[in-house]
């Protein structure tokens, strides 16, 4: 079990400069990448390289492994900014700054060298691989392994795996054949295009265009036992403990960032659009719609930061992360609905607000649906 030093005290001057740098980046380079991704329907490798070289893919990682060591709530301040241009850009930043959380606490010295350090440097892509098409995302997974000597042989199916096609490895969760429940689960680092792996790109999506999602099939794919994280039976602990809670909080903050983009677009349009000699911003119906959106957005931001502080302090996390994700994802739908209404029919045609509206729909499902979040909250509330 690897232990990590607590995040260092933030140099506020340096952090302010970094935040200003990222704000400028998303408004300039970020918008350029948005136009390119929407036009071509793909995310160029050059974007990954640029984000890596700027240090944006290791903002939250510990300093001892090459990261910037930012405390989680401060990292979220930056992630909110990255959520304002294209969803594929924020997805790269979010996933790269989070996947190591599952691996690091369970990695041995060899795995730190082979996987954690190059992942944090941005030299390796690892896709979180839990979801299956025919069951939920948890103890009912059916993808299984059989151990023979120093290898596991993996059989099953996974889908909706973000960056699963372009990744080098899959951080994959399966069960020992014949086991039931969480006790039989294992966490494995599986070569994405290795022997026995069929790795297919899924079709085009409504939003988050350009981000690849893989549909994976495994036919006795060999995986070295040396690529297992933790012990047999630790699979869901690796999956849910290290990654899911902070990832839900992170997704909540990306909802805040995209909602802020939608509100900014709507406010600008309301000031510019003239009807009957006046900007529509002067109409009470429009002004009140924008005011409601602003209050809704700020409530989601503060709830998300509270959840982040609770998780980082060790005082809680599961219920708070679900509350943040539930409220922020539903807030995003309300705010983007308001924003599109402000644009009227013009917003329905290809435009920045149309793209934001499409991208917003995906975040209802990331890291669990609304119903999953409610179930998590209710379980702790009624325990």
Annotate 270-302 with b (16+ C-beta within 10 A) or e (fewer): beebeeeeeebbeeeebeebbeebbebbeebbe
pLDDT at 1: 55
User: How much of the chain, in percent, has pLDDT values that exceed 70?
Assistant: 98
Distances in Å between the Cα of 167 and the Cα atoms of 116, 164, 192, 214 are 14, 5, 6, 10
pLDDT tens for residues 234-286? 999 999 877 889 999 999 999 999 999 999 999 999 999 999 999 999 999 99
Show the tokens assigned to 230: 């933790």
Distances in Å between the Cα of 369 and the Cα atoms of 27, 182, 330, 365 are 30, 21, 10, 5
Task: Return the CATH architecture of domain 12-121.
Answer: Orthogonal Bundle (1.10)
Please give the Cα distance from 192 to 216 (Å, whole number). Answer: 9
Segments making up each domain of the chain, as ranges: 12-121, 126-233, 237-381
pTM (2 d.p.): 0.94
Q: Tell me yes or no: is domain 126-233 CATH 2.40.110.10.
A: yes
- Residue 100 · residue 123 · CB < 8 Å: no
pLDDT at 7: 57
pLDDT tens for residues 67-103? 999 999 999 999 999 999 999 999 999 999 999 999 9
Residue 321: is its pLDDT beyond 80?
yes
Please give the Cα distance from 250 to 255 (Å, whole number). Answer: 9
Among 80, 312, 366, 367, the one annotated catalytic: 367
User: Per-residue confidence at 312, pLDDT binned at 50, 70, 90?
Assistant: very high
Query: Helix crossing, 87-96 with 245-272: angle to 10°?
Result: 150
User: Per-residue confidence at 379, pLDDT binned at 50, 70, 90?
Assistant: very high
pLDDT tens for residues 37-75? 999 999 999 999 999 999 999 999 999 999 999 999 999
Show the tokens assigned to 24: 């400028």
pLDDT at 4: 54
pLDDT at 3: 55
* β-sheet bridge partners, residue 275: 278
- The CATH code that applies to domain 237-381 is 1.20.140.10
Is residue 367 among the annotated active site residues? yes
- Residue 184 · residue 175 · CB < 8 Å: yes
């Amino acid at each position: 079990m690897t232990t990590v030093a607590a995040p260092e005290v933030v140099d506020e001057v340096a952090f302010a400069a970094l935040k200003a740098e990222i704000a400028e980046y998303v408004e300039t380079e970020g918008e350029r990448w948005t136009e390119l991704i929407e036009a071509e329907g793909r995310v160029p490798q050059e974007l990954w390289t640029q984000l890596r070289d700027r240090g944006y893919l290791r903002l939250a990682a510990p300093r001892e492994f090459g990261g910037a060591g930012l405390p989680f709530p401060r990292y979220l301040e930056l992630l909110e900014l990255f959520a304002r241009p294209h969803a594929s850009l924020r997805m790269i930043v979010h996933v790269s700054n989070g996947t190591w959380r599952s691996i690091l606490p369970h990695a041995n010295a060899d795995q730190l060298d082979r996987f954690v350090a190059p992942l944090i440097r941005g030299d390796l892509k690892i896709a979180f691989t839990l979801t299956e098409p025919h069951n939920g995302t948890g103890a009912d997974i059916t993808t299984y392994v059989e151990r023979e000597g120093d290898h596991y042989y993996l059989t099953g199916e996974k889908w909706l795996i973000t960056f699963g096609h372009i990744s080098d490895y899959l951080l994959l969760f399966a069960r020992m054949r014949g086991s039931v429940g969480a006790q039989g689960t294992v966490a494995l680092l599986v070569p994405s295009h290795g022997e026995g792996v069929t790795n297919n790109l899924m079709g085009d999506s409504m939003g988050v265009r350009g981000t690849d999602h893989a549909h994976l099939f495994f036919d006795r794919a060999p995986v070295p036992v040396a690529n297992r994280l933790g012990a047999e039976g630790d699979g869901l602990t690796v999956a849910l403990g290290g990654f899911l809670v902070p990832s839900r909080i992170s997704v909540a903050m990306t909802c805040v960032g995209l909602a802020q983009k939608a509100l900014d677009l709507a406010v600008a349009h309301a000031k510019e659009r003239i009807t009957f000699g006046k900007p529509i911003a002067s109409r009470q119906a429009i002004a009140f719609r924008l005011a409601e959106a602003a209050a809704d957005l700020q409530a989601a931001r503060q709830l998300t930061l509270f959840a982040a502080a609770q998780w980082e302090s060790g005082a809680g996390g599961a219920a708070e992360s679900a509350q943040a994700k539930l409220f922020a994802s539903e807030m995003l739908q309300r705010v983007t609905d308001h924003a599109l209404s402000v644009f009227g029919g013009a917003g329905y045609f290809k435009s920045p607000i149309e793209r934001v509206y499409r991208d917003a729909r995906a975040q209802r499902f990331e890291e669990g649906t609304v119903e999953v979040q409610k179930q998590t909250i209710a379980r702790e509330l009624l325990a």
